[in-house]
Amino acid sequence: MKVTIIGTGYVGLVVGACLADMGHEIMCLDIDKKKIDKLNKGIIPIYEPGLKTVIKRNETDKRISFTTDKEKAIQFAEIIFLAVGTPQRKDNKADLKYIKQAAADIGKYMNDYKVIINKSTVPVGTAELVRKIVKENLKKPIDFDVVSNPEFLREGSAIKDFMNADRIVIGYDSEKAKTYMEKLYKTYVRTFRPIVFVDIKSAEIIKYASNSMLATRISFMNEIARLCEKVGADVKKVAAGMGFDKRIGPRFLQAGIGYGGSCFPKDVRAFIEMARENKVDFKILKAVEEINEEQKKSLLPKIKKLVPNLKGKKIALWGLAFKPKTDDMREAPSLVIIKQLQAEGAKVAAFDPVAKENAKKLLKDVEFIDDQYEVLKDAHCLVLVTEWDEFRNFSYERVKQLMKQPNIVDGRNVYDHEDLEEAGFNYISVGR
């Protein structure tokens, strides 16, 4: 099928690349000329494992292309994905200005029947809004359908998540659109992966509800971690004991320093606001958000327990991105931790395998080092912020030799406290 993707961010690029890999003809449209120029030169503007390889393979096979030409891209397609950003507004609602502009452009340039797919995370009623805007901008009557097809991609494993999806959710109100969607995703039908067809409003809710449930599990375990610290229990053992219950399962039961990124924080807030507008007081999600923001601040007392006076002391961070395998700094706990440390007068040095350039845009007076050991030179404390694989195993002797004091605060519960204490480190983690 011929498919246009409007928006070349995390979602748009991954969806376009993967659909091309499934044999579809893909045209990616973006208004950012610099970004499109880079993509046409083989430069991928985001870090996502495997994405560059998939795009290069499909460019070679002429199944994917990139353009800023709206008319060309819209008239090319049978199916159009809206994968533009929906940033958070000051009132916590999702900002739909890019969705509205894309819908207007589709109406302006559309030349025959299209299935228009909302792939961006959008509030209930957005499909109706898109339908209305497209109709208002049509130059002549043309039939079209609007479908909701939310994404469930995790940064760092997005290619795998798309190609081996747990499920495909499709909200529709037209049998013709359903036929097009079945054809688009026939690879999933052949491999017996579930395609869940629902009404459009249910599909729009499913994405918010899914992310909010995962965020709730994280905040719940962080509350359990606080209790474990008070009574002397180990939250990792508690999580293991809980996870064997098939009704609960083991995933998203890890305590730490809170969630971040482009989805959970924004979607939780938007879901709370969506509920409020419909006269529902989402008390659980309000608590989830409050706990998460508190948790981002929870490492400073642990650091001060090991280094009581931080003024003039060097604190080294391993990790800046909100999670491993991405360079995304949006809502990253590291931003909160660094500002706290700087307010105490500490000198902050940091190493992250890929997020340095994005971090530089958001942080001042931080020494960015390109080596995970060099960043520890003369440090009074090492703080593990992002659990990159290369941080899981390190030379105890080398680290002790480099550091001024052998203090480690583990914000992700990666290390074994007995091993580190036996090696001569002062070690504090979360909920243990």
Nearest residue to 48 (alpha-carbon basis) of 164, 162, 156: 156
- Across 156-304, the runs of DSSP E, i.e. the strands, are 168-171, 195-198
Over the stretch 282-326, which tens digit does the pLDDT of each residue have?
A: 999 999 999 999 999 999 999 999 999 999 999 999 999 999 999
Residues of the chain with CATH 1.10.1040.10: 207-294
- Across 137-282, the runs of DSSP E, i.e. the strands, are 144-148, 168-171, 195-198
Separation between Cα atoms, residue 38 and residue 400, nearest integer Å: 43
- Domain 207-294 bears CATH identifier 1.10.3720.10: no
Average pLDDT value for residue range 337-361: 97
- Domain 2-198 bears CATH identifier 3.40.50.720: yes
The type of residue at 35 is K
- Residue 298 tokens, joined: 């929870």
Residues of the chain with CATH 3.40.50.720: 2-198, 299-428
* DSSP bridge partners of 384: 318, 410
The type of residue at 149 is N
Over the stretch 350-379, which tens digit does the pLDDT of each residue have?
A: 999 999 999 999 999 999 999 999 999 999
Catalytic residue, candidates 18, 28, 228, 263:
263
Separation between Cα atoms, residue 391 and residue 179, nearest integer Å: 48
Over the stretch 228-274, which tens digit does the pLDDT of each residue have?
A: 999 999 999 999 999 999 999 999 999 999 999 988 999 999 999 99
Separation between Cα atoms, residue 67 and residue 20, nearest integer Å: 16
Over the stretch 60-106, which tens digit does the pLDDT of each residue have?
A: 999 999 999 999 999 999 999 999 999 889 898 889 999 999 999 99
The verdict on whether 263 is a catalytic residue reads yes
SS3 content of the chain, % helix, strand, coil (to 5): 45, 15, 40
Dihedral angle sign, alpha carbons of residues 395, 400, 401, 404: positive
Average pLDDT value for residue range 141-169: 94
- CB-based contact 352:389 (threshold 8 Å): no
Per-residue confidence band for 418, with pLDDT thresholds at 50, 70 and 90: very high
Class of domain 299-428: alpha beta
Do you know the residue count of the chain?
Answer: 432
